[in-house]
Amino acid sequence: MGYRISRRGLLNGAAGVAAAGTLAGCAMGGDDDTESDAKGEVSAANPLGVKEDAPLEVVIFNGGFGEEYAKAHEAMYQERYPKAEIKHSSTQKIAETLQPRFVAGDPPDVVNNSGGSQIDFNGLVSQGALTDLGELLDAPSLDDPAKKVRDTLLPGIVDVGSYDGKFLSLNYAYSAYGVWYSRKLFESKGWQYPKTWDEMIALCKKIKAAGIAPWTYPGKHSRYMSWPILAAAGKLGGIEVIKAIDNLEPNAWKHEAVRAAAEAYYQLAVDGFLQPGAEGMDHVQSQTEWCRGHAAFVSCGSWLENEQKSVTPPDFRMAVAPTPSLTTSDKMPFEAFRGTGSEPFIVPTKGKNVRGGLEYLRVMLSQQGASDFTRKVSSLTCVKGAGAGIELGPGLASVTGLIEASKGTAFTWLYSSYYRKLERERVDAACAELYTKRINAAQWCEQVQKSADEFAQDPAVKKYKRA
């Protein structure tokens, strides 16, 4: 089995996003038979009917998690099916690499459709390019045949991967989003993480006085700073505020909770609490500045620890916390945070080995497959209990503490999955202007709402409804 090794990549690809959007306008190639010809005999040991000698092609996004974890999963698959030849490749540019193959009707069997150059799910779904993973959910788990795969998954994983009631995308990693800081820095300065916005501003003044930038952010990917705005808005106004945004409802982005949250984070720019020069940085550059102690806070997801492992000082002790509460009457508690599945895996309908693709995901969802992923990349998976007994790094240990403290109040939004370009292009651009003070919070709400309205009114954009 040959591997093409790529260096650990960056989440990069504005050009790829633009390219990805064209898929919706292209007819999928191939004939009308979307079922793979590679079929084997169904049995207790082979519930998905995998053809044991059918080749399997896997393409991995080589980003923050790298590709080594996938090689371990492939080895597990090959142990079960030793006659199967596995072709592995990785790329930072999923859309540029694979979009022509989808159009030609010759996609791989498994795709990690992630990163800045992800193929737009809206196009894939509307063209019927993705296999319904419902059969996988109802298959017996690899560890316990008496338990279905669906019963091994964390809550919300099926929701975030479902479109029009069909489970089409397995978001394998479980990502917690929040505000990150260094426990070492905070303890050395006697600082406490702020639970309210007033406390945040007061602490930012102290941090700036100490000669450290209170916040840094990736100006080239400014949407990272939309995450705390939406998290704060959801906590202030409740989940219905988030659902209205997901459903492209009129004036959803101009809700008073969204406006209040945008004004709070705009204050960071107005008061000079953002690191000078951050507007020109990408995510790795800004995160590296944070790791070097040049800034106290950064907004990111729980892949941060793995992504920064080569530059993080041994005693840095990174930690994550929820966004501060905006008021004393927020509808959600301070401990509520955005938590959701990420790192989507798909099985194309036109793959030559659909059965094998489903089985590969079943292998990934085993306790062995999931715990191995956590050990290799310092990220939790969507599999219940798979992180138990594993020695976790400071960042991931902090994430598990965040999850436990939330007591089931974690929430997420889906608009960025339903309408990827709305976040990756429009919200991203609006945030770039907000944090450089070219527009204010009210104008930010207006600008993003106008973009959301365009998506809502565009007949070429497939719409989804979140209940």
52-103 confidence digits (pLDDT tens): 999 999 999 998 889 999 999 999 999 999 999 999 999 999 999 999 999 9
The whole-number pLDDT of residue 8 equals 28
The token pair that represents 386 in the structure block: 């798979």
Distance in angstroms (rounded) separating the CA atoms of residues 213 and 430: 23
The token pair that represents 148 in the structure block: 């279905």
Residue 112 · residue 449 · CB < 8 Å: no
Residue 64 · residue 32 · CB < 8 Å: no
The token pair that represents 131 in the structure block: 């296999």
What Rg do the C-alpha atoms of the chain give, in angstroms?
A: 22
pLDDT at 24 over 90: no
Whole-number percent of the chain with pLDDT over 70: 92
Arithmetic mean of pLDDT, 245-269: 98
- Top pLDDT among 213 and 378 is at 213
The whole-number pLDDT of residue 300 equals 97
Distance in angstroms (rounded) separating the CA atoms of residues 435 and 419: 23
Contacts of 436 (CB under 8 A, 6+ apart): 219, 269, 279
Q: State pLDDT tens for residues 139-150.
A: 999 999 999 999
- Start-to-end Cα distance in the chain: 45
Give the residue from 310, 444, 276, 273 showing the smallest Cα distance to 286. Answer: 276
- Phi/psi at 264 (nearest 5 deg)? -65, -50
pLDDT band at 348 (very low <50, low <70, confident <90, very high): very high
DSSP per-residue letters across 232-269: HHHHHH-HHHHHHHHTT-TTGGGSHHHHHHHHHHHHHH
Q: Are strands 110-112 and 86-91 parallel, antiparallel or unpaired?
A: unpaired
The whole-number pLDDT of residue 467 equals 85
What CA–CA distances, in Å, run from 316 to 258, 292, 394, 395?
33, 9, 9, 10
* Sheet strands (E) in 256-359: 295-301, 318-321, 338-346
Whole-number percent of the chain with pLDDT over 90: 83
Confidence (pTM): 0.82
b/e map of 14-41 (b: 16 or more CB within 10 Å)? Answer: eebbebbbebbeeebeeeeebebebbbe
pLDDT at 275 over 60: yes
Q: Please tell me the CATH code under which domain 175-339+411-457 is placed.
A: 3.40.190.10
Distance in angstroms (rounded) separating the CA atoms of residues 77 and 65: 20
pLDDT at 34 over 90: no
Q: State pLDDT tens for residues 295-347.
A: 999 999 998 998 999 999 999 999 999 999 999 999 999 999 999 998 999 99
Contacts of 419 (CB under 8 A, 6+ apart): 122, 248, 455, 461
Arithmetic mean of pLDDT, 273-292: 98
The token pair that represents 457 in the structure block: 């009114």
The continuous run of DSSP H or E covering 395 comes out as helix 394-406
Residue 266 Cα to chain centre, angstroms: 24
pLDDT at 113 over 50: yes
The whole-number pLDDT of residue 28 equals 52
Residue 226 · residue 427 · CB < 8 Å: yes
- The owner of tokens 């990690």 is 112
At the top level of CATH, the class of 14-172+341-391 is: alpha beta
Over the chain, what is the mean pLDDT? 91
Contacts of 187 (CB under 8 A, 6+ apart): none
pLDDT at 17 over 70: no
Cα 296–216–440 angle (5° rounding)?
Answer: 125
pLDDT at 5 over 70: no
The whole-number pLDDT of residue 7 equals 26
Local structure of 277: helix, strand or coil:
coil
Local structure of 141: helix, strand or coil:
coil
Query: What is the DSSP code (8-state) at residue 118?
Result: P
Q: State pLDDT tens for residues 148-198.
A: 999 999 888 998 999 988 999 999 999 999 999 999 999 999 999 999 999
User: How many CB atoms sit inside 10 A of residue 433's CB?
Assistant: 15
Q: What residue segments make up the domains of the chain, in order of their start? A: 14-172+341-391, 175-339+411-457
- Phi/psi at 223 (nearest 5 deg)? -60, -25
Distance in angstroms (rounded) separating the CA atoms of residues 362 and 462: 29
pLDDT at 266 over 70: yes
pLDDT at 36 over 90: no
Q: Do domains 14-172+341-391 and 175-339+411-457 have the same CATH topology?
A: yes
The whole-number pLDDT of residue 306 equals 86
- What is the amino acid identity at position 307? E
The whole-number pLDDT of residue 21 equals 43
Arithmetic mean of pLDDT, 353-380: 95
- Top pLDDT among 34 and 57 is at 57
Q: State pLDDT tens for residues 421-443.
A: 999 999 999 999 999 999 999 99
pLDDT at 3 over 50: no
Arithmetic mean of pLDDT, 277-287: 98
